[in-house]
């Protein structure tokens, strides 16, 4: 039996998953109009291949990948292109989007299926995953085919499928593991073949015994490992350390220690792409929080406005004070509910007006609790000070770019310092300055 190692730091947030953990996934019909952003991944905006007025089929390519780490986007409905224009995005910026009037017919584009896709060669599997626009669905949005394509001479010991889902409110991966274990196992096998990984390990936090049992029943020779529940157990570097005992070096990438991590939803999307010829045009979203009348998990067409998803969850039983996309620890507050669901939207969290009040911060008391919980072994209090005072070189020297933005420091700080906010600011500035011509 595999020995699961520990990782540095971490926290134990209140368990709030029970509200939706037992709620089966409900498929949500697409709204009358969908808004499909051309940026739903890291990298450059995809380039449109349709024009205003075009009729499109469900699953049809709307925009092709730009650059080495781009990803194409496809239509979640059949209908007519109404506009290609900037629209509000979850990031808070405007992003070019293709607006489509849904004809309600669900007429699919022709799909290339394969009855036994594990027989395909690595190149063909990668091609199908890439063409389907599959990206990391755990939040990162890194194009999956690019992540599975390793530099020459690199061999992989491990493909780790991440079923930890350690963010407190998320239960989308949990439900996928309970309801679609065969797809996840197939996706894992396909990704292992595509990357040449010698072994597959599916790692699940031990607060999901039904998901562990479900995958064990279908895993065959694939190893299923229960890891202790502690946030952020599902962080890429933290997971690799727990499963392999190897530490990804500062500034390094997982393949440098012979491992690649993919999320369970991404594994399922890879299976749908290669076996069924289905591009990534929908995803499961947890809708939860005190003001939500009927919290649950919904299979949502990409491009659906948040307002439509909240309606499906019974609407609000009281006025929300804040709506956050992607959870309490790492999520982003939204200005409006007209922004669409994207490939990386795992969770919509609504807070009451009382819950949404940001506590006043007080001066740092140098208690070092933020240091004790930081899984990246950083000094959050120092990084905050560098960010606040625009001392970006020092922030860089103190490892700001190694921050995984888990929010554990914010959670634990008794002075309620906005640590992560200033660290994010410093990271953005460091990256922006690196990209300036010298």
Using CB under 6 A, list all residues that contact ligand SF4.
364-370, 373-376, 378, 380-381, 403-409, 412-415, 417, 419-420, 423
Nearer to ligand SF4, 235 or 305 (CB): 235
CB 321 within 8 A of CB 351: yes
What minimum distance in Å lies between the beta carbon of 403 and ligand SF4? 3
CB 59 within 8 A of CB 279: yes
Nearer to ligand SF4, 39 or 385 (CB): 385
Nearer to ligand SF4, 126 or 420 (CB): 420
Q: How far is CA 438 from CA 80, 226, 430, in A?
A: 46, 48, 14
Taking only Cα atoms into account, the Rg of the chain, rounded to an integer number of angstroms, comes to: 21
What minimum distance in Å lies between the beta carbon of 363 and ligand SF4? 8
CB 101 within 8 A of CB 77: no
Nearer to ligand SF4, 125 or 381 (CB): 381
Nearer to ligand SF4, 159 or 164 (CB): 164
What minimum distance in Å lies between the beta carbon of 328 and ligand SF4? 13
Scanning the structure block, which residue is given the tokens 């999307």? 269
d(CA 424, CA 44) in angstroms, rounded, equals 20
Nearer to ligand SF4, 34 or 385 (CB): 385
What minimum distance in Å lies between the beta carbon of 397 and ligand SF4? 15
Torsion of Cα atoms, 382 then 383 then 384 then 389, to 10°:
90
What minimum distance in Å lies between the beta carbon of 377 and ligand SF4? 8
Interior/surface letters 203-232, b for 16+ CB within 10 angstroms, e for the rest:
bbbebbeebbebbbeebeebbbbbbebbbb
Q: How many CB atoms lie within 10 A of CB 340?
A: 29
Nearer to ligand SF4, 350 or 408 (CB): 408
d(CA 257, CA 129) in angstroms, rounded, equals 24
What minimum distance in Å lies between the beta carbon of 400 and ligand SF4? 8
What minimum distance in Å lies between the beta carbon of 15 and ligand SF4? 20
Q: How many CB atoms lie within 10 A of CB 367?
A: 13
């Amino acid at each position: 039996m595999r020995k699961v190692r520990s990782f540095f730091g971490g926290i134990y947030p209140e368990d709030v998953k029970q509200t939706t953990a037992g709620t089966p996934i409900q498929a949500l019909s697409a709204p009358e109009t969908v808004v499909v952003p051309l940026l739903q991944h890291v990298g450059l905006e995809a380039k449109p291949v349709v024009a205003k007025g075009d009729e499109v089929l469900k699953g049809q390519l709307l925009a092709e990948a730009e650059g080495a780490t781009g990803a194409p986007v496809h239509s979640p409905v059949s209908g007519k292109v109404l506009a290609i224009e900037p629209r509000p995005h979850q990031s808070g910026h405007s992003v070019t989007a293709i607006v489509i009037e849904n004809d309600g017919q669900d007429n699919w584009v022709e799909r290339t299926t394969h009855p036994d896709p594990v027989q395909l060669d690595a190149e063909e599997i990668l091609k199908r995953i890439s063409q389907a626009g599959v990206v990391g669905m755990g939040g990162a949005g890194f194009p999956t085919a690019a992540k599975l394509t390793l530099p020459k001479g690199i061999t992989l010991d491990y493909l780790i499928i991440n079923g930890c889902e350690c963010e407190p409110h998320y239960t989308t991966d949990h439900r996928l593991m309970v309801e679609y274990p065969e797809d996840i196992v197939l996706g894992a096998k396909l990704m292992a073949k595509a990357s040449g990984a010698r072994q597959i390990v599916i790692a699940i936090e031990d607060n999901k015994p039904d998901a562990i049992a479900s995958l064990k029943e279908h895993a065959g020779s694939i190893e299923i490992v229960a890891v202790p529940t502690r946030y952020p157990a599902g962080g890429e570097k933290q997971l690799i350390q727990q499963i392999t005992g190897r530490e990804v070096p500062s500034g390094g990438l997982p393949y440098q220690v012979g491992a690649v991590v993919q999320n369970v939803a991404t594994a399922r999307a890879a299976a749908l792409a290669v076996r069924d010829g289905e591009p990534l045009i929908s995803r499961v979203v947890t809708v939860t929080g005190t003001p939500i009348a009927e919290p649950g998990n919904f299979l949502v067409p990409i491009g659906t406005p948040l307002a439509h998803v909240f309606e499906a969850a019974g609407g609000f039983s009281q006025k929300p004070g804040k709506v956050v996309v992607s959870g309490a620890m790492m999520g982003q507050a939204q200005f409006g509910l007209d922004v669409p669901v994207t490939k990386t939207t795992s969770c919509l969290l609504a807070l009451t007006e009382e819950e949404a009040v940001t506590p006043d911060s007080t001066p740092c008391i140098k208690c070092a609790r933020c240091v004790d919980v930081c899984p990246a072994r950083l000094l959050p209090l120092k990084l905050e000070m560098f960010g606040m005072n625009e001392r970006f070189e020092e922030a860089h020297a103190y490892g700001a770019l190694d921050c995984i933005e888990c929010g554990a420091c914010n959670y634990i700080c008794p002075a309620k310092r906005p640590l992560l906010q200033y660290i994010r600011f410093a990271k953005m500035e460091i990256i922006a300055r690196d990209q300036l011509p010298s």
